[in-house]
Structure 1
């Protein structure tokens, strides 16, 4: 009875959590569009979440570095027993209070609180200036991971849809081949043709069935890869929506846009790194300047020969002052670091030039691929209608005994090839559009924060 009561209580406690998880899981529609897949991936892909965590870690590091500008308060306390000798000397150690001679004082304790405030320090100044560029770098890094997810999920999405369309075409081809096999069998049994047509129809049908199985397995593999890119659990069913009109409309992109290097995240990250390197030049250039800080303390001194009477009387002290630290000679370390920083700036400038050349090459290649694929897709659209008309005419002529079965097989093969080439060309255009947008730095279905 007691165990049943505990189980009932546990069920009521765990029920809201279970319902919340179930609600979150069921919030996704049964059939996902590309935008929904991308949105899910941006929320669940580990790489995106890791980049967001890296950005948060950088904020903490900035806070740690900038905390040196704030007052540093510590409490240093000590209690010491001297078996022989003592720092206290008559009235000197206790401000002339006459506690006793050095031979009388064996127990000394100091309780105090100290505070320091940086007024100028080269290290802290560098941390303050570098915080701006480090924020930009990690913000762009998080954005770059989102761009990668958008591109990878989009391509994986199109790859799955392409295989699904190929499967649909193969299934339609199987239906046609089954009908042709039935016609060939009937004509063979009627003695109109020999068994060659029947066997050719069987061979073509078997090949189509094998292709269907191969494509079905390919869809499973590509769907698993899409789930990986989305950060979706393997056990969740995945069904994708297909809208041919929309994809044909989205295949177009303005190819007259001017390439802007600053749109590329990689270029902006290199600029941030270059700016950080430039700060090191000023850091070592002004490294000869002294460091200045204010400090103060309030201490309570306790002196006694007997341990039990140690904290009976206190002798306070209070002071404030300035500390000036002047680097005089460091063995040429500062000058060597300064020369090294200059070389690092020169190298960063060359990285920017190299990145510009790389971006320009990527853009030129992506633009050429897109234009080629777009032209190919436009031409292949016409082939589908032509091949379909040819198949219908040849199939009718075969039933009337005008064409041979070889002509039927050829027209079926042409129709299937035309349909497969069309969908392959369509998704190649969409994929090359993604590459072009990524090369231009304009990819994304989300707003940059």
Structure 2
């Protein structure tokens, strides 16, 4: 086995200066840099602005206008000379000034506006829903990153197993070469063992490609450039051998997805209030002041200023049945949201039980295959010694080696399945 370890140290590529990320470090980077998470944050910020916009509908609206006019010619009012009855009196009078200034300030305040109140509540609910959606999006991306990370670890550990398989085959080939040199085996046996060694090389190349592809996917998820040094570290930990199944547990509820569904129901219910508000009157209060000033020489001594106030009442009378249909539609949408909530609960319960079953199956497989690996390890060590003594053939040792490698791969695969079930369960319960 010492020769095998030496060969493995030669075959496993050196990482170099690439920065190594643990799972926790990688997920922290994903939460900071992932594009989907940033988009969700942006949408939450937009919904917060919607709340401010909805609130502004009930705040005073103040506006001001100003204008200047320059008349280049005089405008006259004419009087018929025969009608004036006075000689020497001009028959026309200028009625305009060369310069005119005008301005106004207005204030509008809603006293009662049911749609505006309903929109405020909807905006607040939508903002709360977007916060939940952002948290859910973050959880989904973190879950995706965790599973990808475990898959990359699985691929790396598979590569190590394939390298070990190749090293064992090469060690077998070297032993047979020594035996051939001593006249203990035929040339056919030597070439056969060489062929067995060469058959292990394609698996190594495929495993390396898989590792490279998964590392690229991890880079993309964390929004990392190709130039940025990147490598992962860690291993897929085996669960405790005494782990027992808990498949009878029920889905607890109150999770993030359930809260999202509740918010959707609240939004649908508030839409009913908004549609009913279309039947209610609106009352607004206005204050204003207008000022006009006239002069030929920019002194503006002649001024007219008027202040005013109004109360406006707007009463909807007939909309052609549109508002009634909108109310009925919003009621139907609310009923649909309640059914979706119940359906989601059933779906999550089913998914939860399925994940618990996957976890139990993987745990059972791990406990079984772990023993197989221990037995296969002892068997291959014994077979190597038997080969030296001529008690087993090349083919028998190859079969023993393949059984050992397959057992290790099965154990690794079962461990990955177990960890994937754990990740999915944790994500489901958030």
How does the TM-score come out when normalised to structure 1?
0.81
Is 2:65 the partner of 1:73?
Answer: no
Alpha-carbon spacing, 1:338–1:103, altered in 2? closer, same or farther (3 Å)? farther
CA distance in structure 2 between the aligned counterparts of 1:350 and 1:234, rounded to whole angstroms? 47
The alpha-carbon deviation at position 197 of structure 1 amounts to: 2.0
Verify the 8 A CA contact 2:173 2:194 in the aligned structure 1. yes
Verify the 8 A CA contact 2:359 2:418 in the aligned structure 1. yes
CA displacement 1:149-173 (0-9 Å, x = unmatched): 1111111111111111111112222
1:282-301 counterparts in 2 under 5 A? 282-301=273-292
Verify the 8 A CA contact 2:251 2:348 in the aligned structure 1. no
Question: Aligned to 1:317, what secondary structure does the other structure show?
Answer: strand
Is 2:41 the partner of 1:49?
Answer: no
Is 2:154 the partner of 1:154?
Answer: no
Verify the 8 A CA contact 1:46 1:231 in the aligned structure 2. yes
Bigger Rg, structure 1 or 2: 2
Instruction: Find the counterpart in structure 2 of residue 273 from structure 1.
Output: 264
Instruction: Find the counterpart in structure 2 of residue 126 from structure 1.
Output: 118
Verify the 8 A CA contact 2:51 2:124 in the aligned structure 1. no
CA displacement 1:10-53 (0-9 Å, x = unmatched): xxxxxxxxxxxxxxxxxx99322111111110011111111111
Instruction: Find the counterpart in structure 2 of residue 97 from structure 1.
Output: none
Instruction: Find the counterpart in structure 1 of residue 357 from structure 2.
Output: 368
The alpha-carbon deviation at position 263 of structure 1 amounts to: 0.4
CA distance in structure 2 between the aligned counterparts of 1:381 and 1:323, rounded to whole angstroms? 82
Give unmatched runs, 5+ long, in structure 1: 1-27, 87-100, 443-449
The alpha-carbon deviation at position 338 of structure 1 amounts to: 0.9
Instruction: Find the counterpart in structure 2 of residue 334 from structure 1.
Output: 323
1:26-37 counterparts in 2 under 5 A? 30-37=19-26
Instruction: Find the counterpart in structure 2 of residue 24 from structure 1.
Output: none
Alpha-carbon spacing, 1:412–1:151, altered in 2? closer, same or farther (3 Å)? same
Alpha-carbon spacing, 1:29–1:35, altered in 2? closer, same or farther (3 Å)? farther
The alpha-carbon deviation at position 369 of structure 1 amounts to: 1.6
Instruction: Find the counterpart in structure 2 of residue 379 from structure 1.
Output: 368
CA distance in structure 2 between the aligned counterparts of 1:338 and 1:322, rounded to whole angstroms? 29
CA distance in structure 2 between the aligned counterparts of 1:41 and 1:120, rounded to whole angstroms? 48
Instruction: Find the counterpart in structure 2 of residue 184 from structure 1.
Output: 176
1:59-98 counterparts in 2 under 5 A? 59-79=48-68
CA distance in structure 2 between the aligned counterparts of 1:361 and 1:129, rounded to whole angstroms? 34
Instruction: Find the counterpart in structure 1 of residue 191 from structure 2.
Output: 199
Question: Aligned to 1:248, what secondary structure does the other structure show?
Answer: coil
CA distance in structure 1 between the aligned counterparts of 2:381 and 2:199, rounded to whole angstroms? 22
Instruction: Find the counterpart in structure 1 of residue 157 from structure 2.
Output: 165
CA displacement 1:285-304 (0-9 Å, x = unmatched): 24322111221011112356
The alpha-carbon deviation at position 188 of structure 1 amounts to: 2.2
Instruction: Find the counterpart in structure 1 of residue 382 from structure 2.
Output: 393
CA distance in structure 2 between the aligned counterparts of 1:278 and 1:165, rounded to whole angstroms? 53
User: For this pair of structures, how many residues does the alignment match?
Assistant: 396
Instruction: Find the counterpart in structure 2 of residue 426 from structure 1.
Output: 415
Question: Aligned to 1:358, what secondary structure does the other structure show?
Answer: helix
How does the TM-score come out when normalised to structure 2?
0.85
Verify the 8 A CA contact 2:239 2:363 in the aligned structure 1. no
CA distance in structure 2 between the aligned counterparts of 1:345 and 1:196, rounded to whole angstroms? 79
CA distance in structure 1 between the aligned counterparts of 2:227 and 2:298, rounded to whole angstroms? 74
CA distance in structure 1 between the aligned counterparts of 2:304 and 2:183, rounded to whole angstroms? 127
Question: Aligned to 2:302, what secondary structure does the other structure show?
Answer: coil
Alpha-carbon spacing, 1:281–1:84, altered in 2? closer, same or farther (3 Å)? farther
CA displacement 1:47-95 (0-9 Å, x = unmatched): 1111111111111111112112211100123456899999xxxxxxxxx
The alpha-carbon deviation at position 143 of structure 1 amounts to: 0.4
Verify the 8 A CA contact 1:58 1:135 in the aligned structure 2. yes
CA displacement 1:301-351 (0-9 Å, x = unmatched): 2356x5x56833211111223222111222222212111111111222222
Instruction: Find the counterpart in structure 2 of residue 446 from structure 1.
Output: none
Instruction: Find the counterpart in structure 1 of residue 95 from structure 2.
Output: 104
Verify the 8 A CA contact 2:21 2:231 in the aligned structure 1. yes
Is 2:206 the partner of 1:248?
Answer: no
The alpha-carbon deviation at position 221 of structure 1 amounts to: 0.7
Instruction: Find the counterpart in structure 2 of residue 350 from structure 1.
Output: 339
Alpha-carbon spacing, 1:85–1:177, altered in 2? closer, same or farther (3 Å)? same
CA distance in structure 1 between the aligned counterparts of 2:179 and 2:316, rounded to whole angstroms? 105
Is 2:29 the partner of 1:40?
Answer: yes
Instruction: Find the counterpart in structure 1 of residue 89 from structure 2.
Output: none
CA distance in structure 2 between the aligned counterparts of 1:123 and 1:80, rounded to whole angstroms? 41
Alpha-carbon spacing, 1:79–1:414, altered in 2? closer, same or farther (3 Å)? same
